[in-house]
Structure 1
Amino acid sequence: MSEPGILPQPIPFGKYYLLERINVGGMAEVYKAKAFGVQGFERLLAVKKILSSIAEDEAFIEMFVDEAKIAGQLSHPNIAQIFDLGKVDGSYFIALEYIGGKDLKTIFERARRIGEKVSIPRVCYIIMKVCEGLAHAHHKKDAQGQDLNIVHRDISPQNILLSYEGEVKIIDFGIAKAQGKTSQTQVGILKGKFSYMSPEQVRGLHMDHRSDLFSLAIVLYEMLTLERLFLGESDFDTLEKIRKVEMSPPSLYNPHIPKELEDIVLKGLGKSPDERFQTSYEFADALERFMRNQGYYYTNKDLAQYMKEAFNADIEFENKKFEYYKSLNLRPLDGSQSVLTTRPNGIGKELPRSAEAGLSWGEEEMETQIFDRIEDSNEIDDADIVYAKDANATDEVPTVEYDRWKSDLEFKDEPAEPRMRGSQPTAQLPSVEPRRQQSHTLQGIPSPVKKKNNSMAVIAIVALLVVVAGVIGQRLLAKAELQIETEPESVEVWINGEKVHDGPTPFVWNVKPGQATIELKKEGFVPFKLTEKLNAQTYKLNETLEPMVRSAEIMVKTDPPGATIEIDGRKLEDPSPFTIKDLQAEKASIKVSKEGFFDETREVALNTDRPNSLEIRLKPERVALKVTSVPDRAEYTVYDGETRIAAGRTPDTIKDLDATRKFRVVVERRLYDSWERVFEPAFEKEATLEASLRRKGDDEPKTVATSSRVTRPDPTTTRVNIKNVKKPEDTVKPPPEKTKPPEKKPEEVAGTGILNIASKPVARVYIDDQDTGRYTPILNFKIKSGKHKITLKNPEFSLDKTYYVDVGPGETKKIINR
């Protein structure tokens, strides 16, 4: 393993060791910390301490204490547990459960960045677990059995954490509302993130637990669509959108969202609290019922597998750091004594906030991101870790600040007038050493010969050696401090080939003087790399990473082939099928055209991670219709509206029909019921319409009984000459010839059935190997009775599935692909 650099030194804080700062907000900062108990008991937790800049503000202190008091009463698997509320050197802190994982904001941004497909079961499972946590908080009672009426008031993606073990946790009750809390919200003051407020919260009206459910419905909408719901050009615009509840249905952004789920989202976003779900239980039950109806089954194991696959590199890096901290001989501390009076470099500094840009998230009063639970970790060699003792006792040297590192920058070996950082009292730190000591050989000073005349000279030489050794030792202990700030704000920082940080910047790191290679990495951006010789001084690196321009390719196929292709208005020389390469855009407009067919245009989202494909079936401008019947030689008539445009006897073909029109086809035959259908041209140049005629039920004439007595005809009876009747159906029909009985064919009793087809994901439907040109869902599709082959295709999701179905006359059959 290459040398990872100098890890920050654990800082005693009350009865805890602060290992590293993992986040900072407007009100507090959060550290990964370690606590000790008897018999070698150890616990990894998070310590949230109020910032020194607001430590004297009574209002903030009250809010901070209220958070601990409210959350401390809650004990639920889906709420981050509070362990301790204390005060060290006048600074309040909260010790809370350490959750190794990522917040939903990070999941959202990663999914958008890499074009990840939305997993509806995963999103529903996460929201259901948040509902369970909120239900516990909303219905919590005090010791006397009185409702606490807790309202979180800041439900947002930043405050929902997913652990690497598949747990879902609600955090940050910093502005929660509860019965009997100390701090009160002033009139006209809005608390929370604007984009996730409820209409009543925006208007400053009374809020109850249903306000949290509105905020959670916003989170559900955004995770299903990967689009921000209420985000205006300014805070005022955002608040106006929420007040009016201006939104588009989620299926507009994600057509794969079933209607049942969309109804749940829209109900959760009801403008009035009475229009929403009334409890968290009701919200969760609706999602659970939807999951059951869709046949979805999702557990924490599935979520854990997703998290570990998505953030494998982060887990590895945290494991490596954890092994290092595990190797230190940290001693239990006396919590009654304040031991922290100063901050080391890179810990406890209040960092500047970066400006919002692009798909921004509203700033929060405290983003409690608590990183990376550590389980079984990889072995690490302690000798690879370089530890900085007395980090606060190095020389303070001038800071070199510039936007980019410059190879021609002059570095001084030593500052002109170094001054020690000893002007402020420093805390006495316990002895901290790696478990395995490196061997060092110290050259001792030979004992001098006792001579009276040389005693003073010997003392002077020893004193000189001590001074020289001190200077050399101090130079050896001196470190180069890197202060790194980037845009985008969250990046991976690699120094000398080792990842030392993955998260928000500004970030401070100490490294040995000498040759150093600094790399900044972020998925979707061009990596930054610089190698320079560093001296014992402070360097500032401000770097804006360039978005990575990744190319995509798409295969365009048409039916029929040989069509002309245009992409974003640019005509290509090669006809279809053709692969278009080196596309730099995220979307493309593709138009195909062919003589005799209508032009087709598609808006395509391009995926740079894999080849894209587009299949377009062209619709002809003119079509031919072949009309057949069973039995044949029936009279047919074709109407365009009320106008008869063709007539004849089956089988026959009508050519040159306008493919944009609908035609009514009537088939008639003596002794059979009339047959009528509407023909709507689709994608076939020649379509076939077969009429299955049904014999009339009363075709046989009634037989009159005969007798031996001859009767005279009634003089009032009118004689009918059958030969002169032009329309036999209007007269008494003669009996059929007995010598030629009609041949009964199976087709004569054939009818039609109904077919309903649904698929997840959406698919194109082929019936008996013929492309219908339609996509699922298809409802009430009339189909000729009999056996049929149904094929569902979607190349994007590698779907190519075939079903065989036998539809009886008047029967309805369903095909559902999941």
Structure 2
Amino acid sequence: MSPENNSNTTYNKPKNTMGQYYLIEEIAQGGMAKIYKGLSYDAYGIKKNVVIKKILPHIAASKDFIEALVDEAKIAVNLSHGNIAQTYDLGKSGDDYFIVMEYVEGKSLSLIHKRCLANGKLIPIPILCQFMCEALNGLDYIHRKTDENGKTLNIVHRDISPQNLMVNYSGTLKIIDFGIAKSAFKGGSTDSGTLKGKFPYMSPEQARGDPIDHRSDIFSLGVIFHELLTGKRLFKAEDNRATIRNVRRAHVEPPSSIHENIPEDLDKIVIRALSKERRHRYAFASDMRDDLLKFSAKNFSDFKSSDIVDFLANIFEKDEKNQKEIQDSKTPVQILEHTTSALNHEKQLEKTDHVKLPSNLKEFFLDDMEADEEPQISTDEDINKEEKSIETDSKESGLSDYILNYFKKLQILYNKNRIVFLGISAGIILLLALALTKPWQKEKTDLTAGLGKTAELLIITEPADIHIYLDNKLIGVGSPMTLKNLKPNEDISIRAEHEGFSPQTENMALNSGEFRNLKISMSPLKKSIYTLSITSNPTGATIFLNDKEASLKTPATINNLEVNKHYSLGLYLEGYKFWSKDIETKENETQNFEVQLELNYGSLYVMTQPSGALILLNGTPAGQAPIEMDKLEPHKVYRLEAWLEGYKAYYQDIEFDAGKRKEMHLRLEKEENLPEKETTPSE
């Protein structure tokens, strides 16, 4: 709901929030999260663009996922480097979890490459070398990151791809998305047996499901470097199986075999980064960066960083919006200091207000209106405060609307008959001078006598997205809000309203020149209650309400549910079928449920001879044999596949009984006329 347009008050405050942040527009949505462009406001109204990664409710209901989310945030908030997109906060708004990250004004390396290909070109080698150096700077930082005791955290990004390398319009590259990054935060090494990341950019050891280290990221960046130099995909094939096979083989031709103009020295750098055996790769990202810097200094000594800005402006010249952003990027933008992390304040997470996601993005910002006799609410617009103050005090000193309108009539008269105007205007000016000076009221002579004697009021509310009224007129939605140019020593009434809360009114009078803080904490309305009692056999099932975990296990009693509402009640216990039922709450009623849970999931253990085969279920890689797979639905047919280099692929359709475990020992057959499988040397 937009404020009434019944005053000339100005304000500019978004009203759709996520905790202390404001949502502007949805950027993207995946299977696990929605990505928004947002704003961060402090208590003084200073704003900053941010990216808000909001976890979808059905994903946030998983405790395991939330633990992984916290792990991601713990990694990311400790990283601060010019070539890494900063993560500011992990927060919780109601039942919604979200991560707040730096908003990078620019394009992904993937999009830049595609735009060049569309123009029949490739990214120029000196510019591409600079991009790679900056990516290596960021990787070297995260790979060497230590804790407060100086112990290396062993962070591996694991998903280095062109989509996760952003270039801003000033030409700086930043690494984004630490969604599957791993570190030593939990005291362990990176996972083995599970494939995570984008297949075409995996390292051979990552594609085999082996434990990985920081050299896997170097290989991934080498793949990107090779593809951008040649304009050809390196390992990507017609399906995932063929792609993984290509990655495991890691057979790479030098870039110059595709484009002869690529120098031999650059070939050597790329091929070393793409060595199949990681012991032959660069030991650290900084080693590869140093070689690239030497190469660039030798071959492109006249390269300037401004060349990147010109390059971006050229390839995106048809995009007017981007052109404006490129111009704006020439003025440095101060990056917001790291906000108070919700990771260390769990109580704060629980108190953050829950609000709805945006339904109409056009209503995020309210139109500006001219300031008149009503107090002015401060915004981030460029307003001439002195001019506004003089205008206000002019009205206070007796300059009526009648006289202001009279000036307009004088201008019309002047245009029609200048001679008549000269005579009439002389008399009018004399009358105006007497009216304004009022020698019998000398204390009101100076039009600027009231300057500096108004009052200000800063309003902070809890919850934040409330409707604020001044003397029964709606003046804005959202907190914090500053009222300026309030008349001193006059009674004013501030009223706060919010659905589901008791309205609250504060009456006051401010002294001349006073600045006062007003904190309004609203109390929820007392509601009729409904009680739910639920038990299960077996006990210990996790309770879900509206597809969200209620942090309770059976048997349990849930009190104070809102009445006359529909709820979806669910129970989950590992190894049993998910139970659900739709219920409607009625006033002062207690409802009991006794649920007999049904066995559900089966499990599968697969061992192959030889070991190390990649196991797939219904075309999705599950990991490397030997492997244990659980949560398999009963009476559902799965397509099991086993792939191993040099051996025939194995296929079988299998079906599971509820709660049962199957073991399969597969002996793979060698492909004809092929040498035996190469043994991976120890490191």
Using structure 2 for the length normalisation, give the TM-score: 0.47
Larger relative CO (CA 8 A, sep 6+): 1 or 2? Answer: 2
Structure holding more helix per residue: 2
Using structure 1 for the length normalisation, give the TM-score: 0.39
